[in-house]
Structure 1
Amino acid sequence: MSDPDFEFRYKAFGLNIASNFLLEGLLPADGEPEVYIREGKVRVDMPGPPGSYGYTLVGDDGFAFRVKDIGTFLVMGGTQILAERTEGCEPGAHVLFILGTCMGVLLFQRGLLPVHGSALALEGKHMIVTGHSGAGKSTLTAALIQRGCAFLADDIAALQEDENGEPWIMPAFPRQKLWRDTAEQIFGSVDSLERIPGIRDKYHVSMDSGFIEAPRRLDALFELSTHLGAEVIVSEVKGPDKLMAVLRNIYRSEFVELRGKQGEHFMRCSALAARIRVFHIERPENGFTVDEQIKDIVHKLSGL
């Protein structure tokens, strides 16, 4: 591939990216491209009926997947992402999968560890807020940002170990994704926000300031869940449960299993769990309790 074919240059997850189409919301590159993203024909035999969801390994270090009504994607060797949009796909809708699943797989291929969560700075510490879908992590993250917390990543927090094994968060890009109800709770309305193509009632929130552009050492992981009680409960996770909390919040961990790398992955997550503090936040299933959650997080971070 010749560089002139790739007009657009960006930086995300510590990587310089060249693309042959516009990717809004990313920062400009500051060096030679390490990753190439382009639109084109994906010539891979995909399993399953045409148009259905499917995925397959390609060669020694490639992964292809298909998303119904969106397109087919190929990620190769930690350096290339190829996207073929399905006819009728809303313009730009495939970008969500390029910066999501494709990037998660590419990070694995390059030796980084993607955690499914948002990374922020608070009280001089750096943390990842994670949890299952619907737990409220996007609401909590948005509330923290509204209160002045600096921000490193939304949805995928990429970790890179240094020569001493310390985990560092590689900044992603200054954008957060929020569902309409969450955005309205935080901002009052979605009138000033950009709807994400291909998804009804989900919006981009741009970080005009407060985005951290340099790697930061990860101090803590906060896993959010709901319960039927009336109080916010924050407790430290220790022992085997600490490792399990790390393992269940890795982004697209099924790619590890598909490649048969479970043993290596387990050891890596064990090393990560040994170097950070892990906390569990249980919030009431009903009600808006982000103020209490933030108060408890501040208290826990102040003790690190």
Structure 2
Amino acid sequence: MSVRLEAIPDNPGVPDYLGPTWRLVGRRFYLEIPGLLRLMAHDGREIVAEPLGTATEADIAPFILSTGFAAILHQRQQLVLHAATVAWRGRTIALCGRTGAGKSTLAAALCRDGADFVGDDIATIRTDTATGAPMVWPDGRQHRLWADAIDHLSLGERQGLPIRSNMRKFHVAPSMLAELGREALPLAGVVLLQTRERTVPPGPPGIKRLPLVDAAPLLRREIYRSFLARQMGHDPLLFAQIAALLDRVPVFTLERSLGLEYLDASAALVLDAMVEAG
């Protein structure tokens, strides 16, 4: 896949599907954020991005690495989860959840407890042709953590630049990425993060394994930028991919309070669940 900076036409053609900031035109996906960028992802092969106004490359990079990258993967008909991923005992754990659910923070806590960083926001899962095992590929990106999580986890020495100039969320270099390498690892389990309402007093987390009939629809909701897969007509394929994953991989729900009070307990529950699942 290639990424380049280049002007994108104002009128890319008659859309097959049209959203508030995006359109699909054949095998091309277009995104426009007024005053920030235009982006095109084409045929699973390339991303073209155009900064608008005073936007810099650093300003548009998060959109290239999120929505742009997701469009490429969906064009390639990959199974893509909205998940932070870590490696533990030679296998990966995928932590799924909505934006703000604490995926990256929990991943960082697991890394402090002996896991290795794999990916921060997007988990690409492919089936090993020889074994049939679902495999997760490292994405090479850094943790992205809020300042309070960095302080809580004592990661100040690895804190990098802010994601955007007006945010208190920062890149944090993973300590073990070089040792992990670029090889795919089998998926050990998927954990769906469910956060309690802010009106509920903080309390200990709880984890449970889901039966297949409950796990399937919940996992479908965790497809990254799922509107793209739907409008590309990939729903039947996604159904088959999820069914194949669930045949080999356990899925859990982790109910937890927002905040850092029970972060360590949440990480311990995840690792205990992986041990019990085998």
Q: Which residue matches 2:162?
A: 195
In structure 2, relative to structure 1, the CA distance for the partners of 1:208 and 1:275 (3 Å cut) is same
Aligned residues: 265
The match for 1:172 among 113, 126, 139 is 139
Please list every run of 5 or more consecutive structure 1 residues that lacks an aligned counterpart in the other structure. 1-34
Q: Distance in 1 between matches of 2:119 and 2:260?
A: 26
Q: Secondary structure at the match of 1:219?
A: strand
Q: Which residue matches 1:248?
A: 221
Q: Does 1:237 align with 2:206?
A: no
Q: Distance in 1 between matches of 2:156 and 2:92?
A: 29
Identity rate of aligned residues, in percent? 25
Q: Which residue matches 1:302?
A: 275
Q: Distance in 2 between matches of 1:74 and 1:54?
A: 12
Please list every run of 5 or more consecutive structure 2 residues that lacks an aligned counterpart in the other structure. none
Q: Distance in 2 between matches of 1:199 and 1:216?
A: 36
In structure 2, relative to structure 1, the CA distance for the partners of 1:191 and 1:121 (3 Å cut) is closer
Paired residues for 1:58-97 under 5 Å: 58-59=25-26, 61-97=27-63
Deviations 1:207-255 (A, max 9, x none): 2424522100111001111223622110001132111221111111100
The match for 1:215 among 184, 195, 201 is 184
Preserved CA contact (<8 Å) 1:160 1:167: yes
Residue 274 of structure 1: CA displacement?
A: 2.0
Q: Which residue matches 2:153?
A: 186
Deviations 1:168-219 (A, max 9, x none): 1011014111122322322365894211235511211112424522100111
Q: Distance in 2 between matches of 1:170 and 1:125?
A: 11
Preserved CA contact (<8 Å) 1:167 1:272: yes
Q: Distance in 2 between matches of 1:152 and 1:99?
A: 15
Q: Which residue matches 1:272?
A: 245
More helix by share: 2
Residue 108 of structure 1: CA displacement?
A: 1.4
Preserved CA contact (<8 Å) 2:83 2:122: yes
Residue 292 of structure 1: CA displacement?
A: 1.0
Q: Considering only aligned residues, what root-mean-square deviation do their CA atoms show, in Å?
A: 2.2
Residue 101 of structure 1: CA displacement?
A: 0.8
Q: Which residue matches 1:288?
A: 261
Q: Which residue matches 2:74?
A: 108
Q: Secondary structure at the match of 2:270?
A: helix
Q: Which residue matches 1:131?
A: 97
Q: Distance in 2 between matches of 1:40 and 1:286?
A: 41
Q: Does 1:259 align with 2:232?
A: yes
Q: Distance in 2 between matches of 1:44 and 1:168?
A: 39
The match for 1:226 among 187, 195, 202 is 195
TM-score (norm 2): 0.87
Preserved CA contact (<8 Å) 1:64 1:72: yes
Q: Distance in 2 between matches of 1:259 and 1:108?
A: 8
Residue 290 of structure 1: CA displacement?
A: 1.5
Kindly provide the amino acid, as one letter, of the partner of residue 100 in structure 1.
S
Deviations 1:64-101 (A, max 9, x none): 11123320100001111000111111441111111111
Kindly provide the amino acid, as one letter, of the partner of residue 182 in structure 1.
A
Q: Which runs of 4+ in 1 moved over 3 A?
A: 188-192
Q: Distance in 1 between matches of 2:31 and 2:136?
A: 27
